[in-house]
Structure 1
Amino acid sequence: MPREIPRIEIPHTDLWAVLFDRKEKPFPDSQVIYQCPYTNRKYTFSKLREATIKFGSGLRAKWDWKKGDVLAIFSQNCIDTPAITWGTHWAGGVVSPANPGYGVRELGHHLRDSGTKALFTQKHLLPVATKACSEVGIPHNRIVLIGDERDSSFLHFTDLQDPSPGGEREKLIPEKDLAFLVYSSGTTGLPKGVMLSHLNVVSDLFMVDSNEGTILGWEGDRVLSVLPYYHIYGLQCLVHWPAYAGLTTLVMPSFDLKKFCEIIQNHKITYTFVAPPVVLHLAKSPIVSNYNLSSLRMITSGAAPLTKELIHAVHDRLGTEVKQAYGLSETSPVTHMQRKWDKGLGSNGPALPNQICKFMSPDGHEVAPGKEGELWISGPNVFLGYHNNEEATKACKTEDGFFKTGDIGYEDEEGNMYITDRVKELIKYKGFQVAPAELEGILASHELVADVAVIGVEDKERATEVPLACIVLKEGVMGEESVEKEIVWWLGERVAGHKRLRGGVVWVEEVPKSAPSCASGIGGHIG
């Protein structure tokens, strides 16, 4: 039988109401929630609430925004993202974050599949954004800029804010109405839209708070926000949760080790959520020794596994505790999280409240405690299904509501979960999912390629898996270094950065038609 997991009370309401309609909160309205470390621009809680209402009211008044309309955000991390997100929710809309590393092909798929009505982006991303919007029929006046840079040819999101907002916010059914449409790579090609209801997201927010809320406090802690907001891990833990908990969060557009260390030192950061490559830098990079990081008392790492040795190396060097978490886009995302770094060391910790987790054999039977099996999860945080893809939904969700994660693992006697393998053929590069089938489909169209298989190989220096292509060249083509470089470059021009062939190319005479397993120790992922 599945282990009994504690339960907590979760309000039956939407995300905006949870954040801004609560009668009591432990911190004042003047508390700074999001701050840019470079410009010092910031949002206090009261300004954040006001901005969401003005933006939501403006959407409705100026664009006749309807319940269920989708707004996509194609951007690096920006302190305007939360206000735009919850303003869209205020008006009854759905937010669909898109990876700013996407090329035109990938962004076009995202916009077309999601049914996006408007795209919010940044000035430096306009070349990709405008071309993708043109291809899918999104008009020029529905491409809107966020952040500090402007362009007179495009609206800025502040142009849409209603200076005298009126009307009531849209009434939502928390368990049915979507808050987010996030995109998660499957094994069969382009990413699938994961439908997350307001109740899914609110449930996981309270589940995360039941753990992290016992560790951090708004008066003494400052958080560094570096995980990407377009990824469900960053969205939940660094957008939603700081606003709920009242934590001041310094927002980095993207990761840069020197700037990361400078911000920790200058702003006395105490806590951050990261992916394993950041932990590797903190353990080994000589750059870290140039900064005083003594304020950083704890890190939570997700998206890929950490070895015990790496966890100890950071603790020995900095005195910083590193704990791990696990989750998936389909679970909103966090399902497991350590509370103490040295309890269940190397595990993802125990399951968060209000879930049922069980480990299943290939023939669909629950395995004995301590034995390996595929992790199945049910709970209020489990997604509604894949957008426009009933077949994929049926393949991974059981009739009684369990989500088949595709990850193999077990629990120890204390309930700590260890992920040991993967059923799915996804490659996990620094927490991002890479579908071999997608890369194979693109590479097969190259004029020199007769056949191809893409697999994941472990890169110890990067502490991650990387894609490697096994290629059969067309007759008469020699497998020279120049050909490899040309193919690697050619693919890199057509895919987002995390999908590039960092593992390189190997020449083979034949591609086996029974797919090999690419999995190698992927515990601890959130993605």
Structure 2
Amino acid sequence: MPAESPYPSIDIPNVGIWDLLFERKDRSFPDSQVIFQDASSSRSYTYGQVKQVATDFGKGLKGLWDWQRGDVLGVYSPNCIDTPAVTWAVHFAGGIVSPANPGYTVEELAFQLKDSGAKALITQVPQLKIALEAAKIAGIPDDRVILMGDQRAEAGRFKHFSSIRNTSGTQRYRRAKVDPDKDLAFLVYSSGTTGKPKGVMLSHRNIVANVLQMHHNETNISEKDSLLAFLPFFHIYGLTCIMHFAFYKGSRCVVMPKFDIEEWCRIVQDEKITFAYVVPPVVLLLSKHPAVDKYDLSSLRMMSSGAAPLTREIVEAAHKRTNLKVKQGYGLSETSPATHMQQWDDWQRHIGAVGQMLPNQTAKFMSPEETEVPVGEVGELWIKGPNIFKGYLNNPEGTANALTDDDYFKTGDVGYLDKEGNFYITDRVKELIKYKGFQVPPAELEGLLASNDKIDDVAVMGIYKEEIASEVPLAYVVPKKGVEASPQLEKEIMEWLAKKVASHKRLRGGVKFTDEIPKSASGKILRRMLKARYLEEEAKKGAKAKL
């Protein structure tokens, strides 16, 4: 029998995101509550200001561009305190937001803009050059590229969103009505093993449900808390768990554009941060980085780690050094994302578990033959609930492979359930590499590397680096005949690929040369054989080092 959530079912109202955030009757904090605060300037937004700016910009979109229900705005920016108001303005106008990684190359951004059908793009001045080139490829005219953030473009050539929200004659526009279950709120892109990212279709109901599911679990967080937002808002983890959830809770959210461990520690100390959503590499840094000792982090009541597995050793090392507590959670882009979370008082009892299932969900672990396995046995996790996505955009085959006829989502992650209802995730069925929470599809890198005229064949896999607590991509390469395998060639290949992909997709695991890539009769790369070979080689190196 599928496992049920141990929590009682909660009521999920049939409303859109705007209604949940701005029309609620149970809000316990005032309009003047500061919610989003820039970490490096004096800029901030109160709850009331976010609502007003979102309303004004939403009306501006309708007036300037005749924004229609279902139109898509691409967002290509690092974390910015303007992002929440811009996001909810698009929802005011009935549109869909498609956030993109600000580290994307022109080609990567152009693919997302084209695939999502983006009507316009918002960015910041440092990202403007790539944004314009990608927009041109995607057929978005320059006057549909707008700015947010503190910087302005030269001679006012590109509109700042604040000028659009002040467009005259827009006051007559009313907020668009949405069908919460059918209308999309977000198109977030999740890389697939086929190489091309997949547009994950998340409805208003998906996000509304997940915010309320989290709210039911995170009862310790309130408007009195201060959260540190360094996880990117373009990633579903930061988008839902920080941006939406902090706003719903009324918690002050200090926004960092990018992560730096010393700056992170300084902000925790100076701003008296009480709660932080983190990823395993950050916990590892807290256990090892010398700068940590210079700061007082005692205001932190709890951290919650997600995006990748966190080992017992790292949790205990960080706690021993800093006395900080770290609990775990689990989720995916396709689940909006949070499906499991540990309780605050449970972080030490079940280190390694991702917690219990949040309300209104059922789950089961399935064998490769798609039969349910008993409690304690390992299988692929399938989940069902109101937070499960609507499917992959323009990808009926991918959708059919991911969602069952009875609405279960096949996560591709392997794990088990213990007798107390705690879930453990131990591995992945999918071949995706997870670098610090970002997904790296091997097939995409293989396709690029295969186009190099010095490479005959190639296979990419993930290897775990303890020093950064993350997987990194490593390439096994068969050089062209007549091309000598050498350290110089390795460096050349790594640098060549680095110019073609976002930073998180670089070959941080290096290049190993081989005579052939093992493949099945159907031509599929046998990565498990390469993985075994790699581990054997590393074991031999370790044995030699001890001699």
Shorter-chain TM-score above 0.5: yes
Deviation at 1:108, TM superposition (A): 0.7
Q: Which residue in 1 is equivalent to 2:376?
A: 370
Are 1:468 and 2:479 an aligned pair? no
Amino acid at match of 1:266: D
Cα deviations across residues 19-68 of structure 1 (Å, max 9, x unaligned)?
Answer: 00112301111100000021110000011110110010000011100000
Q: 1:15 aligns with which of 9, 14, 17?
A: 17
**Could you tell me which residue of structure 1 aligns to residue 527 of structure 2?**
516
Aligned-pair CA distance for 1:488: 0.3
- Answer yes or no: is the 8 Å Cα contact 1:335–1:351 preserved in 2: yes
1:441 to partner: Cα distance: 0.2
Distance 1:466 1:519 in 2: 13
The equivalent residue for 1:523 is none
Q: Find the partner of 2:305 among 288, 301, 305.
A: 301
Q: Which residue of the partner structure matches residue 141 of structure 2?
A: 139
SS in 2 for 1:296: coil
The answer to whether 1:263 aligns with 2:267 is yes
Partner of residue 2, structure 1: 2
The match for 1:215 among 196, 211, 220 is: 220
Does 2:360 align with 1:358?
no
Please say if residues 433 and 473 of structure 2, whose CA atoms lie closer than 8 Å, have aligned partners that are also in contact. yes
For the pair 1:73 / 2:75, whether they are aligned, the reply is yes
- How far apart are residue 338 of structure 1 and its match? 0.4
CA deviation profile, 1:224-249 (whole Å, cap 9, x unmatched): 00100000000001110111000000
* In 2, Cα distance between equivalents of 1:167 and 1:103: 37
Moved more, 465-474 or 3-12: 3-12
Aligned counterpart, 2:537: none
Matched to 2:469, the amino acid is A
The residue matched to 2:339 in structure 1 has which SS? strand
Aligned to 2:119, the other structure's residue is in SS state strand
- Residue 344 of structure 1: CA displacement? 1.9
Stretch of structure 1 that moved more, 164-173 or 292-301: 164-173
1:314 alignment partner, one of 304, 315, 318? 318
How many aligned residue pairs are there? 518
Tell me, what secondary structure is at the counterpart of 1:46?
Answer: helix
Where do residues 340-359 of structure 1 align in structure 2 (5 Å cutoff)? 340=344, 341-359=347-365
Is the deviation greater in 298-307 or in 501-510? Answer: 298-307
| 1:127 counterpart letter in structure 2 | K
**3-state SS of paired residue (2:15):** coil
SS in 1 for 2:357: coil
* Aligned-residue offset at 1:519: 8.7
- Contact 2:80–2:149 under 8 Å retained in 1: yes
C-alpha distance in 2, partners of 1:513/1:148?
52
Aligned counterparts of 2:308 and 2:206: Cα–Cα separation in 1: 23
Q: What secondary structure sits across from 1:149 in the alignment?
A: coil
> Does 2:247 align with 1:243?
yes
Match of 1:396 in 2: 402
Rounded Cα–Cα distance in structure 2 between residues aligned with 1:119 and 1:136:
11
TM-superposed deviation, 1:134: 1.0
CA contact (8 A) 1:53 1:165 kept: no
Structure 1 counterpart SS, 2:298: coil
1:325 to 312, 317, 329: 329
| Structure 1: distance between partners of 2:375 and 2:215 | 28
Within 2, Cα distance between the matches of 1:21 and 1:297? 30
Q: Is the 8 A contact 2:76 2:102 kept in 1?
A: yes
**Counterpart AA for 2:461:** I
4+ runs deviating over 6 angstroms: none
Deviations 1:425-465 (A, max 9, x none): 10011011110000000000001000000011111111111
Aligned pair partner of 1:52 in 51, 54, 57: 54
CA distance in 1, matches of 2:382, 2:180: 24
- The amino acid of 1:424's aligned partner reads K
C-alpha offsets along residues 149-170 of structure 1, whole Å, 9 cap, x if unaligned? 1102211110110466333210
Superposition map of 1:124-203 within 5 A: 124-151=126-153, 152-162=156-166, 165-203=171-209
2:237 aligns with: 233
SS at match of 1:498: helix
C-alpha RMSD of the superposition:
1.2
Q: Who is 2:436 aligned against?
A: 430
Instruction: Render the CA deviation track for 1:286-345: whole Å, top value 9, x for unaligned.
Output: 110011111112100001111112111222222211001100000000100101312322
| Contact 2:62 2:173 survives alignment (8 Å) | no
Q: Does the 8 Å CA contact 1:427/1:519 hold for their aligned counterparts?
A: no
CA contact (8 A) 1:69 1:93 kept: yes
Comparing 381-390 and 127-136, the one that deviates more: 127-136
Q: Does the CA-based 8 Å contact 2:356-2:422 persist in structure 1?
A: yes
Change (3 A) 1:519 1:168: farther
Distance 1:134 1:324 in 2: 42
Whether the 8 Å CA contact 1:97–1:230 is kept in 2: the answer is yes
Q: Which of structures 1 and 2 has the larger relative contact order (alpha carbons within 8 angstroms, sep 6+)?
A: 1
C-alpha separation in 1, matches of 2:172 and 2:47 = 20
CA 1:208 to 1:69, structure 2 compared with 1: closer, same or farther past 3 Å?
Answer: same
The answer as to whether partners of 1:279 and 1:314 remain within 8 angstroms in 2 is yes
Paired with 1:335 and 1:4, the residues of 2 have a C-alpha distance of 12
Letter in 1 for 2:116: S
8 A contact 1:297–1:319 mirrored in 2: no
* Identical columns (%): 55
How far apart are the structure 2 equivalents of 1:279 and 1:431?
Answer: 13
Q: Any unmatched runs of 5+ in structure 1? A: 521-527
For residues 316 and 464 of structure 1, the distance between their equivalents in structure 2, rounded to whole angstroms, comes to 21
Instruction: Give per-residue Cα distances to partners, 1:52-89, cap 9 Å, x unaligned.
Output: 10010000011100000000100000000000000000
Deviation at 1:370, TM superposition (A): 1.1
State the alpha-carbon separation in 1 of the partners of residues 3 and 397 from structure 2.
30
Task: Return the match for 1:277 from 281, 297, 300.
Answer: 281
Question: Which secondary structure does the structure 1 equivalent of 2:3 belong to?
Answer: coil
Counterpart amino acid of residue 2 in structure 2? P
Give matches, 1:488-503, under 5 Å: 488-503=494-509
TM-score normalised per structure 2: 0.93
Structure 1: which amino acid aligns with 2:138?
Answer: V
- Maintained 8 Å contact 1:425/1:519: no
Q: Pick from 256, 264, 273: which aligns with 1:252?
A: 256
CA distance in 2 between counterparts of 1:412 and 1:88 reads 43
Match of residue 380, structure 1, among 386, 391, 410: 386
Give the 5 Å matches for 1:74-113: 74-113=76-115
Q: 1:34 aligns with which of 33, 36, 39?
A: 36
Helix, strand or coil for the counterpart of 1:381?
coil
Q: CA offsets, 1:368-399, max 9 Å, x none?
A: 11111100001000000000000100011101
TM-score where L is the length of structure 1: 0.97
- Measured in 1, the distance between the counterparts of 2:487 and 2:290 equals 33
Equivalents in 2 of 1:28, 1:360: separation in Å?
47
Aligned match of 2:536: none
Partner-residue secondary structure (3-state), 2:370: coil
Q: Secondary structure at the match of 2:461?
A: strand
Task: Compare 277-286 and 155-164 and name the one that shifted more.
Answer: 155-164
